C-alpha cells in the first residue's frame, strides 16, 4: 500500500495538555488557535525575579527535563517572560523557570517539548488519541490505513490511522519505541512508493524466488527500513520484510555473497561444478543421507558443499541459509568424529543394535558431543549416534546416568541441595499394584500408572469400536505396545505349515507362547520410527488432555504431593541451584546438568506448568548472568578482538558525546584529545596497546579508587606501548584522568568486552558502537534486575560499582529502580561517581538509551521464528525483569522501558545459544531444544532459547508423555525391564487369552500376525519383518523352542540359517523347506542344569520334518 496524507483540516494548535485554571501559574498558556499570537496580560509581571515571586524555582545547571511530555502539566512558550527564559509546571505541582544561559541543554529540550506538546494537543482536538507510554505501534505495514510524516505537527510527533479506523498521535518523549517504529514504517512506505514509481513491483507473500544467476540485489534498507530490491529476468521487485520475511532474508544473503568477492568466487565455482545453491526451502538431510563434504579453507566458516548418496550436490552459504548451514556444519563435525573413532577401532552402531548382558565400559555423552556416545564390550568397541540409533543411544546414556548419579548427588550436597531422586516425581511410587487383584505384583510409578491407565482406556475403546483403528489414540496403543515389545520382548506361538496331500497344508501349533526377546524385536521393529511415532502422537490435543488427566490422577496417589511441589518451587527459585548446574558443567558434566534441569522442570510442570515455565525463564536469565560473571572472574577468556572492539566502541562513544564540548580543557589538551579520538586507534598495534593500558589502569582504579601519576607512568612504560606514541597517549590519559573518566573507561573495556565475549563476537550485537553498547548496557540492567544478582553476579556488580560505570553509563538515571540511590542494587555494591560534567553524563546516557535500530535488526536471522516468537520472548523477558524487581521490593519498570531492555536481551540471548560451554547449553539441552535442532530429534522442541524466554516449557508440557517415555524427564527411563510393565502384562495377557480354547489356535496365531501387520501399516516395522516373523514361528516350533541366548537376536545368532531362510522361496504353501538343520546352531544356556533325557531323545542337531510329515491328521 502507499501512504496517504492525513486530514489537515485542523492545523496543529498550540494548546496546553490541560486547560488553564483561574490564577494559573503563568499568565498565558497556549491559546486555542495556532493563528493567534501569544499575548501577555497587561498586569502580569515579567522576568526572572517576577517568576520567582510567583513560586517558580530557577532550574539548576545540571537539572534534567521531565522524563516525558505526560509529566508536564503545562509549558509556556520560549521567551514568554523574557529573552532566554521558559517556564513549565509538572503534574506534581513543581514550577520551574529555565535560563538558557545557565542551562542551555534544558532550555533547548523544554522549548522542543513546548512545540511537541502543541502538536499532540492539536492532534487530539482533530480526533486523534494519544498513544500511551506502554502501548505499541502497529506490528505490520499492512495494519496502517494512513501514516503521516515524522515531525508533521511538532518535533518528535507522528500520527497514524489503523485499518479499523482508530487514530493515534505518538510523542517520541512519551513513547520512544513506538515513535521510532512508526517513523521507520513511514520511511518504509516512502521507499515502497518511490520504488513503485521507479517501476518496481511490490512482492507478495508467495513470490517466486529468483535464481542466483542473472539476479542483481540491492543492499538492505537501501530505500527504507526493512526493504530490499532486486532485478531478475527483466522483472524489478521491492520486498518488504513484513510481507515475505524468508524471501527478504534470502535476498539479503545473496547480496552479501554478490558483494564479497571471495564468497562469490567459491559459490560460483561450486555452481559451475554441478552444485545447486541451498535456500530456505532446501530440506535438511538426515545424517545418513550425506555422502561427502567439501569446502574452501578460506571460507569454511561461511560456505560448505555436500553431496548426497543420490548424487545431488548442494552448496550452502551461511548468509543465504544460516540454519541449514549450522545443520550441515554439525553433520560434518559429527561424521568427522565418527570416522576418527572408526580409525581408533570403533564400529558405528546400526539403527537397531542392542546391548548384551556383558561387562561394558562407556564414555560420557559430553566426550564427543553432537549426539555421540561410545562404549566397549568383549565383542569390540562401538560408537553410537543418537540420530542413527536413538534407542541404543538412550540405553547407553542411561547406563552413564546411573554410573554418574553418585557424583551428581555429591555435587548437590556441596551446594546444600536435596538429592535428585528425592524430587523425581515421575518415578515416585504410587503404591498402586500393576495387578490390582495381586498384592504381590509390582507397584507402579507415577509415569507407569498414568501411561498404563491411558492405554487401558484406549485399548477398551478400540475393542468396543468407539475408537476407530486409524484414530491417533488407537495408533498410540499400537506404538506403545511396539515400544514395550522392543524393550521387553513379545510372545509368539511356534508353528509350521505341514504339507499334506492335494497341495494342502495343515498348521501345527505349540501349546504355549514362546517369548521373543528384546534382542529379537530389535531386528523386527524399527526403533527409530516407533520413537518418532510416539513423539508425534503425544502432540495430539486429545491425547495430551487425556494423558494430563491420567497424570493428575496418578500424582494424587502421592501422600505428600503438596510438600513435593513446594520443595520443587524452592529448588528452582534457589540461586544455589543455578550455581550447582554451572558447577556440573565446569566438571565436564553438561549432560548431567541438562538431565537434572529437565527432570526438575518436568516434575514441577506436573503440578504447575506455568510455574515450570517461569522457572525455566528465570534459570535461563540467571544462567546468562553466571556466564558473564565467569568471564569477568577470568578475563583471560576474553579475546583480544573483543577487547579492542570494546576500546574502539568506548572511544567512539566519547567522540560523539564530546563533539563541541570542551570539558573546560586548555585548547592544546582539547586538540590533542580530538586528534587521538580521530586517529589514535587506527591500526591493530595502536588499538591493542591502548586496550592493554586501559585494562591495567581500569584494574588500578577498581582496586584503589583513583589513578595516580605513578600508575600512569607504569602503564605507559610497558613494552607493548610504542615509544613514539607514549607522548600523545600520556597526555590523553592524563587529560581523561583529570576529569575522572579514565578509570571508568578502563573498567568499561573489561565489562563491554566480557559481554561481547558472551556472544562470541561483539559485532553480532550490532553494526555501530552505539548499537552494541546500548544492547550491552540494557543487558546489564536486565541482569541487575534479578533478586539473585548479588549471589550470581558479584563480579559484574563489582566492576560496575568500583569501576564507576553505574555513574558513567547513566544507569542510575535510566534505571533508578535498579541502580539509583536506594535502588535494588545500591545497598549491595560500592558505587563510585566520576567528576564528569553533568552535561557530558547526560549525553552519554541519552546516546545509550536510544533505540538501537529498527524492528528488522536481525532477530529473525538469529532465530528464524518470525514475529510471534520474538513478541512472546520480549514479553517473557520483560515479565521476568518486572517479577524480579517486585520480588525484591523495588518498583516495576514501565512497560515501554522493560520492553526495550527485553529486546536488547534477545540480541544477547540469540548468539549466546551458539556458544559452546555456555549456560545456554544446559537450558536448551535440558528442554531437548538445542539437541533437537542439531540432531533433528523428533521428540525435541526445536525452537531455541527464544521460546524458553517466551515460556515454551509450559506450552510443551503436553508432550510430557513422550518425554517421560524416552528419558527427557525421568531418571529411570529405558534402564530396566519395568518400562510400562502394565502395558507389557496387558499385551501378553491379551494374546494368551486367545489360547484358552484349543480349537481357536488358528485364529489366535493369525491374531498374533495381525498385530505385526497393524504395526507394519503404521510404518513401525523393518522392511523384512514378515519373513523374520515367519522364521520365528517355524524355528521355535521345529527346534522345540527359541534356540539363541536371551541377550542376542535369534536372527543374528542363527545368521547362517536365517539368511538361507530369507533367500529360499517356500514350497507348497509351507516354509519348512526354508529351514536347514545343517546351518542351525544348537544353543544351551550355561546356567541351565542338564536335563534327564529319555533314551529315544531326538538327535542333538534336529533335522527339518520332511514335507507332509507327522502332524495333526484329518479325520
DSSP H helical segments within 213-370, as ranges? Answer: 245-258, 261-272, 322-343, 365-368
Q: Is the pLDDT of residue 51 over 60?
A: yes
Q: In what order do the strands lie in the sheet with 361-362?
A: 346-348, 380-385, 372-377, 361-362
DSSP H helical segments within 369-514, as ranges? Answer: 390-414, 446-464, 472-488
What's the rounded Cα separation, in Å, for the pair 28 and 1097? 123
Residue 457 forms part of a structural domain: no
| Count of domains for the chain | 3
Q: Is the pLDDT of residue 396 over 80?
A: yes
Backbone angles phi, psi at 291, to 5 degrees: -105, -50
Burial class (CB in 10 A: 0-12, 13-18, 19+), 695: buried
SS3 788: coil
What mean pLDDT do residues 410-430 have?
A: 90
Strand partners, 308: 290
Q: Is the pLDDT of residue 39 over 80?
A: no
Residue 1002 has what pLDDT? 58
Among candidate residues 352, 306, 349, the one with its CA nearest the CA of residue 331: 306
CB neighbour burial string for 702-729, b if at least 16 within 10 angstroms, e if fewer: beeeebeeebbeebbeeeebeeebbeeb
Q: Return the C-alpha cell found at 936.
A: 533433528
Please check whether residue 532 is in contact with residue 507, taking contact to mean a CB–CB distance below 8 angstroms. no
Residue 851 has what pLDDT? 56
Checking 656-662 for CB contacts under 8 A at 24+ apart, the result is 656/770, 656/847, 657/840, 657/843, 657/844, 657/847, 658/840, 661/837, 661/839, 661/840, 661/843
Residue 696 forms part of a structural domain: yes
Which of 914, 931, 957 is the last residue in one of the domains? 914
What mean pLDDT do residues 954-961 have?
A: 36
Please check whether residue 1034 is in contact with residue 1072, taking contact to mean a CB–CB distance below 8 angstroms. yes
- Tell me which residue range forms the domain holding 844: 635-914
Q: Give the residue, 965 or 136, on which the prediction is more confident.
A: 136
Q: What is the DSSP letter of 740?
A: T
Please check whether residue 80 is in contact with residue 100, taking contact to mean a CB–CB distance below 8 angstroms. no
Under 8 Å CB-to-CB from 1090, ≥6 apart: which residues? none
Q: Is the pLDDT of residue 905 over 70?
A: yes
What mean pLDDT do residues 191-212 have?
A: 92
Mark residue 567 as left, alpha or beta (left: phi above 0; alpha: psi -120 to 50; beta: remaining): alpha
Q: Is the pLDDT of residue 238 over 90?
A: yes
Q: In what order do the strands lie in the sheet with 129-130?
A: 129-130, 167-171, 157-162, 144-147
Q: Give the residue, 859 or 582, on which the prediction is more confident.
A: 582
Residue 1026 has what pLDDT? 95
CB neighbour burial string for 786-810, b if at least 16 within 10 angstroms, e if fewer: bbbbbbbbebbbbbbbbbbbbbbbb
What's the rounded Cα separation, in Å, for the pair 97 and 85? 7
Q: Is the pLDDT of residue 209 over 70?
A: yes
Burial class (CB in 10 A: 0-12, 13-18, 19+), 296: middle
pLDDT tens-digit profile of 969-993?
322 332 222 233 333 332 322 222 2
What mean pLDDT do residues 170-189 have?
A: 89
Backbone angles phi, psi at 1036, to 5 degrees: -65, -45
Q: Is the pLDDT of residue 513 over 80?
A: yes
Q: Give the residue, 944 or 273, on which the prediction is more confident.
A: 273
Q: Is the pLDDT of residue 2 over 50?
A: no
Q: Is the pLDDT of residue 271 over 60?
A: yes
Residue 562 forms part of a structural domain: no
Percent helix, strand, coil in the chain, to 5, is: 50, 10, 40
Residue 926 has what pLDDT? 67
What's the rounded Cα separation, in Å, for the pair 311 and 303? 19
Q: pLDDT averaged over the chain?
A: 80
Count of Cβ atoms closer than 10 Å to residue 1082 Cβ: 10
Residue 1036 forms part of a structural domain: no
What mean pLDDT do residues 615-622 have?
A: 84
Residue 1090 has what pLDDT? 62
Under 8 Å CB-to-CB from 758, ≥6 apart: which residues? 624, 627, 628, 631, 908, 912, 915, 918
Residue 869 has what pLDDT? 61
Residue 951 forms part of a structural domain: no
What mean pLDDT do residues 484-494 have?
A: 87
Residue 678 forms part of a structural domain: yes
Q: Give the residue, 1107 or 582, on which the prediction is more confident.
A: 582
Q: Is the pLDDT of residue 996 over 50?
A: no
What's the rounded Cα separation, in Å, for the pair 230 and 648? 35
pLDDT tens-digit profile of 68-96?
888 899 999 999 889 999 999 999 899 99
pLDDT tens-digit profile of 639-666?
999 999 988 888 888 877 776 555 666 6
Please check whether residue 377 is in contact with residue 356, taking contact to mean a CB–CB distance below 8 angstroms. yes
Under 8 Å CB-to-CB from 556, ≥6 apart: which residues? none
Q: Return the C-alpha cell found at 771.
A: 548499537
Which of 414, 441, 456 is the last residue in one of the domains? 414
Q: Is the pLDDT of residue 668 over 80?
A: no
Please check whether residue 298 is in contact with residue 340, taking contact to mean a CB–CB distance below 8 angstroms. no
pLDDT tens-digit profile of 569-580?
999 999 999 999
Among candidate residues 581, 588, 584, 589, the one with its CA nearest the CA of residue 622: 581
Checking 502-507 for CB contacts under 8 A at 24+ apart, the result is 503/1068, 503/1069, 504/1069, 505/1068, 505/1069, 505/1070, 506/1111, 506/1112, 506/1114, 507/1001, 507/1002, 507/1005
Q: What is the DSSP letter of 1000?
A: G
Strand ranges inside 271-392, DSSP E: 276-277, 290-294, 303-308, 313-317, 346-348, 361-362, 372-377, 380-385
Q: Is the pLDDT of residue 916 over 80?
A: no
Residue 26 has what pLDDT? 27
Backbone angles phi, psi at 99, to 5 degrees: -100, 125
Residue 398 forms part of a structural domain: yes
Q: In what order do the strands lie in the sheet with 85-90?
A: 57-58, 95-99, 85-90, 72-75
Q: What is the DSSP letter of 1107?
A: T
Residue 138 forms part of a structural domain: yes
What's the rounded Cα separation, in Å, for the pair 157 and 161? 14
Which of 356, 386, 414 is the last residue in one of the domains? 414
Q: Which range, 38-47, 216-225, 979-988, 993-1002, is most confident?
A: 216-225
Strand partners, 90: 72
Among candidate residues 705, 679, 680, the one with its CA nearest the CA of residue 693: 680
What's the rounded Cα separation, in Å, for the pair 226 and 794? 40
CB neighbour burial string for 78-87, b if at least 16 within 10 angstroms, e if fewer: bebbeeebbb
Residue 657 has what pLDDT? 73
Cα three-residue angle 810-843-136, rounded to 5 degrees: 75
Please check whether residue 769 is in contact with residue 653, taking contact to mean a CB–CB distance below 8 angstroms. yes
Concatenate the DSSP letters of all residues of 62-102 into one string.
Answer: T----SSGGGEEEEPPTTSSSTTEEEEEETTS-EEEEETTT
Q: Return the C-alpha cell found at 272.
A: 559451475
Q: Return the C-alpha cell found at 476.
A: 498410540
Q: What is the DSSP letter of 622?
A: H
What is the dihedral sign for C-alpha 29, 30, 32, 36? positive
pLDDT tens-digit profile of 1091-1107?
555 555 455 544 444 33
What's the rounded Cα separation, in Å, for the pair 510 and 1041? 9
Cα three-residue angle 55-57-62, rounded to 5 degrees: 165
Q: Is the pLDDT of residue 938 over 60?
A: no
Q: Is the pLDDT of residue 38 over 50?
A: no
What's the rounded Cα separation, in Å, for the pair 832 and 746? 14
Q: Give the residue, 1094 or 339, on which the prediction is more confident.
A: 339
Residue 915 has what pLDDT? 64
What mean pLDDT do residues 268-276 have?
A: 94
Count of Cβ atoms closer than 10 Å to residue 336 Cβ: 12
Residue 1001 has what pLDDT? 57
How many residues are listed for the chain in this entry?
A: 1115
Q: Give the residue, 54 or 942, on which the prediction is more confident.
A: 54
Checking 314-318 for CB contacts under 8 A at 24+ apart, the result is 314/275, 314/276, 314/277, 314/278, 314/282, 315/267, 315/270, 315/271, 315/275, 315/276, 315/277, 315/278, 316/278, 316/282, 317/253, 317/257, 317/263, 317/267, 317/277, 317/278
Q: Give the residue, 352 or 767, on which the prediction is more confident.
A: 352
pTM comes to 0.75
Cα three-residue angle 811-892-16, rounded to 5 degrees: 85
Q: Return the C-alpha cell found at 1007.
A: 491374531
What mean pLDDT do residues 862-874 have?
A: 59
Give residue 36's pLDDT band: very low, low, confident or very high (50, 70, 90). Answer: very low
Amino acid at each position: 500500500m502507499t501512504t496517504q496524507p492525513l486530514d489537515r483540516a485542523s492545523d496543529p494548535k498550540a494548546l496546553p495538555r490541560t486547560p488553564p485554571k483561574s490564577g494559573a501559574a503563568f499568565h498565558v498558556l497556549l491559546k486555542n488557535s495556532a493563528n493567534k499570537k501569544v499575548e501577555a496580560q497587561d498586569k502580569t509581571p515579567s522576568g526572572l525575579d517576577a517568576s520567582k515571586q510567583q513560586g517558580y524555582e530557577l532550574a539548576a545547571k545540571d537539572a534534567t527535563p521531565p522524563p516525558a511530555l505526560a509529566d508536564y502539566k503545562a509549558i509556556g512558550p520560549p521567551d514568554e517572560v523574557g529573552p532566554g527564559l521558559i517556564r513549565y509546571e509538572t503534574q506534581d505541582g513543581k514550577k520551574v523557570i529555565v535560563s538558557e544561559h545557565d542551562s542551555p541543554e534544558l532550555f533547548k529540550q523544554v522549548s522542543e517539548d513546548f512545540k511537541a506538546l502543541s502538536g499532540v494537543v492539536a492532534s487530539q482536538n482533530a480526533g486523534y488519541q494519544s498513544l500511551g507510554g506502554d502501548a505499541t505501534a502497529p506490528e505490520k505495514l499492512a495494519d496502517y490505513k494512513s501514516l503521516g510524516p515524522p515531525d508533521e505537527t511538532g518535533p518528535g510527533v507522528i500520527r497514524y490511522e489503523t485499518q479499523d479506523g482508530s487514530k493515534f498521535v505518538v510523542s517520541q518523549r512519551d513513547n520512544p519505541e513506538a515513535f521510532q517504529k512508526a517513523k521507520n514504517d513511514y520511511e518504509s512506505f516512502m521507499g515502497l512508493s518511490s520504488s513503485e514509481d521507479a517501476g518496481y513491483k511490490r512482492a507478495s507473500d508467495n513470490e517466486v524466488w529468483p535464481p542466483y544467476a542473472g539476479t542483481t540485489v540491492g543492499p538492505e534498507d537501501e530505500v527504507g527500513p526493512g526493504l530490499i530490491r532486486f532485478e531478475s529476468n527483466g522483472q524489478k521487485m521491492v520486498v518488504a520484510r513484513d510481507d515475505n520475511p524468508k524471501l527478504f532474508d534470502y535476498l539479503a544473503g545473496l547480496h552479501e555473497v554478490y558483494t564479497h568477492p571471495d564468497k562469490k568466487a567459491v559459490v560460483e565455482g561450486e555452481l559451475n561444478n554441478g552444485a545447486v545453491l541451498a535456500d530456505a526451502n532446501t530440506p535438511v538431510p538426515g545424517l545418513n543421507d550425506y555422502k561427502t563434504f567439501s569446502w574452501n579453507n578460506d571460507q569454511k566458516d561461511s560456505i560448505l558443499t555436500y553431496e548426497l548418496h543420490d548424487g545431488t550436490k548442494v552448496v550452502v552459504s551461511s548468509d543465504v541459509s544460516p540454519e541449514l548451514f549450522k545443520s550441515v556444519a554439525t553433520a560434518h563435525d559429527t561424521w568427522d568424529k565418527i570416522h576418527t573413532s572408526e580409525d581408533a577401532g570403533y564400529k558405528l552402531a546400526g539403527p537397531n543394535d542392542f546391548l548384551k548382558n556383558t561387562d561394558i565400559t562407556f564414555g560420557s555423552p559430553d566426550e564427543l558431543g553432537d549426539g555421540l556416545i561410545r562404549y566397549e564390550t568383549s565383542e569390540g568397541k562401538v560408537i553410537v549416534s543418537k540420530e542413527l540409533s536413538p534407542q541404543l543411544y538412550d540405553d547407553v546414556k542411561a547406563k552413564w546416568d546411573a554410573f554418574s548419579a553418585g557424583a551428581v548427588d555429591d555435587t548437590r550436597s556441596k551446594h546444600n541441595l536435596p538429592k535428585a531422586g528425592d524430587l523425581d516425581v515421575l518415578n515416585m511410587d504410587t503404591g498402586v499394584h500393576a495387578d490390582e487383584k495381586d498384592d504381590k505384583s509390582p507397584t507402579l510409578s507415577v509415569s507407569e500408572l498414568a501411561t498404563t491407565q491411558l492405554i487401558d482406556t484406549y485399548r477398551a475403546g478400540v475393542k468396543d469400536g468407539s475408537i476407530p483403528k486409524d484414530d491417533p489414540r488407537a495408533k498410540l496403543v499400537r506404538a506403545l505396545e511396539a515400544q514395550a515389545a522392543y524393550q521387553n520382548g513379545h510372545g509368539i506361538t511356534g508353528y509350521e505349515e505341514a504339507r499334506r496331500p492335494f497341495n494342502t497344508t495343515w498348521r501345527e501349533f505349540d501349546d504355549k507362547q514362546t517369548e521373543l526377546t528384546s534382542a529379537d524385536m530389535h531386528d523386527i521393529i524399527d526403533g527409530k520410527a516407533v520413537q518418532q511415532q510416539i513423539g508425534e502422537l503425544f502432540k495430539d490435543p486429545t491425547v495430551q488432555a487425556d494423558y494430563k488427566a491420567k497424570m493428575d490422577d496418578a500424582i494424587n496417589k502421592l501422600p505428600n504431593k503438596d510438600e513435593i511441589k513446594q520443595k520443587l518451587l524452592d529448588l528452582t527459585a534457589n540461586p544455589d541451584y543455578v550455581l550447582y548446574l554451572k558447577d556440573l558443567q565446569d566438571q565436564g558434566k553438561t549432560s548431567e546438568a541438562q538431565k537434572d534441569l529437565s527432570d526438575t522442570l518436568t516434575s514441577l510442570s506436573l503440578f504447575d506448568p506455568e510455574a515450570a515455565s517461569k522457572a525455566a525463564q528465570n534459570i535461563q536469565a540467571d544462567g546468562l548472568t553466571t556466564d558473564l560473571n565467569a568471564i569477568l572472574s577470568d578475563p583471560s577468556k576474553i579475546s583480544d578482538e573483543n577487547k579492542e572492539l570494546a576500546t574502539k566502541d568506548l572511544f567512539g562513544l566519547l567522540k560523539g558525546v564530546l563533539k563541541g564540548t570542551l570539558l573546560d580543557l586548555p585548547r592544546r589538551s582539547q586538540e590533542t584529545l580530538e586528534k587521538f579520538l580521530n586517529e589514535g586507534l587506527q591500526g591493530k598495534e595502536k588499538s591493542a596497546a591502548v586496550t592493554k593500558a586501559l585494562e591495567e589502569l581500569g584494574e588500578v582504579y577498581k582496586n584503589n579508587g583513583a589513578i595516580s601519576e605513578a600508575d600512569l607512568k607504569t602503564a605507559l612504560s610497558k613494552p607493548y606501548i610504542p615509544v613514539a606514541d607514549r607522548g600523545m597517549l600520556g597526555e590523553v590519559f592524563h587529560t581523561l584522568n583529570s576529569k575522572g573518566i579514565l578509570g571508568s573507561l578502563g573498567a568499561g573495556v573489561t565489562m563491554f568486552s566480557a559481554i561481547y565475549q558472551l556472544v562470541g563476537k561483539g559485532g553480532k550485537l550490532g553494526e555501530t558502537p552505539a548499537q552494541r553498547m546500548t544492547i550491552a548496557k540494557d543487558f546489564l540492567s536486565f541482569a541487575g534486575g534479578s533478586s539473585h544478582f548479588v549471589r550470581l553476579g558479584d563480579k559484574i556488580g563489582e566492576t560496575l560499582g568500583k569501576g564507576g560505570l553505574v555513574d558513567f553509563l547513566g544507569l542510575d538515571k535510566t534505571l533508578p529502580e535498579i541502580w539509583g540511590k536506594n535502588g535494588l542494587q545500591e545497598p549491595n555494591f560500592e558505587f563510585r561517581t566520576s567528576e564528569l560534567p553533568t552535561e557530558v553524563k547526560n549525553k552519554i546516557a541519552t546516546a545509550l538509551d536510544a533505540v538501537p535500530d529498527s524492528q528488522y535488526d536481525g532477530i529473525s536471522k538469529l532465530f528464524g521464528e518470525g514475529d510471534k516468537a520474538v513478541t512472546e520472548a520480549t514479553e517473557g523477558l520483560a515479565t521476568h525483569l518486572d517479577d524480579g524487581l517486585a520480588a525484591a521490593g523495588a518498583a516495576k519498570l514501565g512497560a515501554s522501558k522493560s520492553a526495550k531492555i527485553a529486546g536488547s536481551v534477545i540480541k544477547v540471548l540469540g548468539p549466546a545459544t551458539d556458544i559452546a560451554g555456555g549456560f545456554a547449553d544446559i537450558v536448551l539441552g535440558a528442554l531437548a531444544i538445542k539437541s533437537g535442532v542439531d540432531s533433528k530429534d523428533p521428540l525435541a522442541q526445536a525452537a531455541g532459547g527464544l521460546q524458553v524466554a517466551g515460556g515454551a516449557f509450559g506450552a510443551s508440557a503436553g508432550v510430557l508423555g513422550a518425554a517421560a517415555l524416552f528419558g527427557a524427564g525421568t531418571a529411570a527411563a529405558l534402564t530396566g525391564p519395568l518400562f510400562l510393565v502394565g502395558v507389557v502384562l496387558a499385551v501378553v495377557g491379551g494374546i494368551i487369552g486367545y489360547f484358552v480354547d484349543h480349537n481357536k489356535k488358528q485364529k489366535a496365531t493369525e491374531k498374533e500376525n495381525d498385530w505385526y501387520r497393524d504395526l507394519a501399516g503404521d510404518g513401525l516395522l523393518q522392511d523384512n519383518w514378515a519373513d523374520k516373523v515367519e522364521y520365528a514361528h517355524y524355528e521355535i516350533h521345529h527346534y522345540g523352542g527359541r534356540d539363541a541366548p536371551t541377550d542376542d537376536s535369534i536372527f543374528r545368532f542363527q545368521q547362517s540359517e536365517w539368511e538361507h531362510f530369507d533367500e529360499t522361496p517356500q514350497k507348497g504353501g509351507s516354509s519348512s523347506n526354508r529351514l536347514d538343520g545343517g546351518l542351525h546352531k544348537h544353543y544351551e544356556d550355561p546356567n541351565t542344569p542338564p536335563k534327564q533325557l529319555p533314551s529315544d531323545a531326538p538327535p542333538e542337531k534336529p533335522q527339518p520334518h520332511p514335507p507332509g510329515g507327522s502332524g495333526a491328521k484329518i479325520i
